């Protein structure tokens, strides 16, 4: 039992470092919206406890030690003076409850992602990153800032049981993953796809849309590559980059 407790503690410490790295990476890539973006993850070994940055910190201030632990209602597990944005966490809680396979959720108001969220076309599959999300993107219509139980049900219904990414109409991006690494790389590639689309549309020239057949061939190849290594090596590379810039997130 003591060894099991030590393993769980070590797992949580790793999760804290990785999630803190996500906050720093979101800041590095310019996806911050002051403090309105967030990243959360399940505490390893627990279904009802989650890690999130406390209200008041911007991305480049987040450290592993500053992350707080909350329950499924967004209430702090530890007793202290810190606060958590319960409205922001509500979206997470309904998805975590409905999708036990999702361990991490990220939300951003990134410029290009938000622009695509305002377009009737939604995401176009015109480059390799966007093709990764072919038939794998959910959409949720804007219903205001405050989310309620009924809207939560509609969000979960739109996400379904097989999708990990949602374009929140007129709002931004929300992505999940089966690991912190997968969630972040989903956000990275989705934001890259949105940027390419916005820049392509801004040229005013007709956009070439590949047919479904070559996209399907690409996805089969991609799936084989993901089975070999997944997104872990990509995320590890990005953590090394952040370490070189400022490793204080590990504190």
Per domain, the residue ranges of the chain are 2-250
Question: Any alpha helices (H) in the chain, and if so which ranges?
Answer: 2-28, 86-98, 111-117, 128-131, 149-159, 180-202, 212-229, 232-245
Lowest model confidence (mean pLDDT) among 9-23, 109-123, 165-179? 9-23
- Which of the given ranges, 31-35, 69-73, 124-128, 151-155, has the highest pLDDT on average? 124-128
Q: What is the dihedral of CA 19, 24, 28, 34, to 10 degrees?
A: 100
pLDDT confidence of residue 79:
62
Quote the percentage of the chain above a pLDDT of 90.
71
Q: What is the pLDDT of residue 82?
A: 77
Q: Quote the pLDDT of residue 136.
A: 95
Q: What is the pLDDT of residue 7?
A: 41
The yes-or-no verdict on residue 3 having pLDDT over 60 is no
Q: Coil, strand, or helix at residue 213?
A: helix
Question: Which stretch of DSSP H or E encloses residue 163?
Answer: none
Residue 147, pLDDT above cutoff 90: no
Among 51, 66, 59, residue whose Cα is nearest residue 11? 51
Question: Please, what is the Cα angle at 166 between 210 and 204, to 5 degrees?
Answer: 40
Q: Which fold has domain 2-250?
A: L-fuculose-1-phosphate Aldolase (3.40.225)
> d(Cα 86, Cα 112) in Å, to the nearest integer?
26
Least confident of 9-18, 43-52, 77-86: 77-86
**CA angle, corner 182, sides to 227 and 110, nearest 5?**
140
The C-alpha atoms of residue 86 and residue 134 are separated, in whole angstroms, by 32
Of 150-159, 190-199, 212-221, 226-235, which range is least confident?
226-235
CA distance 26 to 84: 19
- Name the pTM for this structure: 0.91
The end-to-end CA distance of the chain, in Å, is 28
Average per-residue pLDDT for the chain? 90
Q: Which residues lie below 8 Å from residue 180, measured CB to CB, with a gap of 6+?
A: 15, 18, 19, 22, 41, 103, 104, 235
Q: What pLDDT sits at residue 111?
A: 94
Residue range 2-8: average pLDDT? Answer: 40
56-82 CB burial, b ≥16 within 10 A, e <16: eeebeebbbebbbbbeeebebeeeeee
């Amino acid at each position: 039992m003591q060894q099991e407790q030590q393993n769980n503690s070590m797992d949580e410490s790793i999760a804290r470092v990785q999630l803190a790295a996500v906050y720093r990476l979101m800041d590095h890539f310019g996806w911050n919206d002051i403090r309105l973006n967030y990243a959360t993850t399940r505490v390893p070994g627990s279904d009802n406890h989650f890690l999130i940055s406390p209200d008041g910190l911007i991305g480049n201030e987040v450290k592993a030690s500053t992350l707080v632990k909350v329950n499924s209602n967004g209430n702090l597990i530890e007793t202290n003076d810190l606060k958590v944005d319960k409205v922001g966490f509500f979206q997470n809680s309904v998805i975590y409850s409905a999708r036990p396979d999702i361990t991490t959720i990220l939300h951003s108001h990134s410029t290009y992602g938000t622009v695509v969220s305002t377009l009737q076309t939604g995401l176009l599959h015109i480059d390799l990153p966007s093709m990764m999300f072919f038939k794998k993107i959910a959409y949720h219509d804007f219903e205001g800032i405050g989310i309620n139980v009924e809207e939560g049900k509609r969000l979960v219904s739109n996400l379904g049981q097989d999708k990990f990414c949602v374009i929140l109409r007129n709002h931004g991006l929300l992505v999940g993953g089966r690991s912190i690494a997968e969630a972040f790389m989903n956000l990275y590639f989705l934001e890259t796809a949105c940027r390419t689309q916005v820049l392509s549309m801004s040229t005013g020239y007709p956009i070439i849309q590949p047919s479904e057949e070559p996209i399907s061939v690409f996805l089969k190849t991609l799936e084989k590559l993901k089975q070999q290594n997944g997104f872990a090596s990509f995320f590890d590379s990005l953590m090394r980059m952040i370490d070189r810039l400022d490793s204080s997130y590990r504190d």
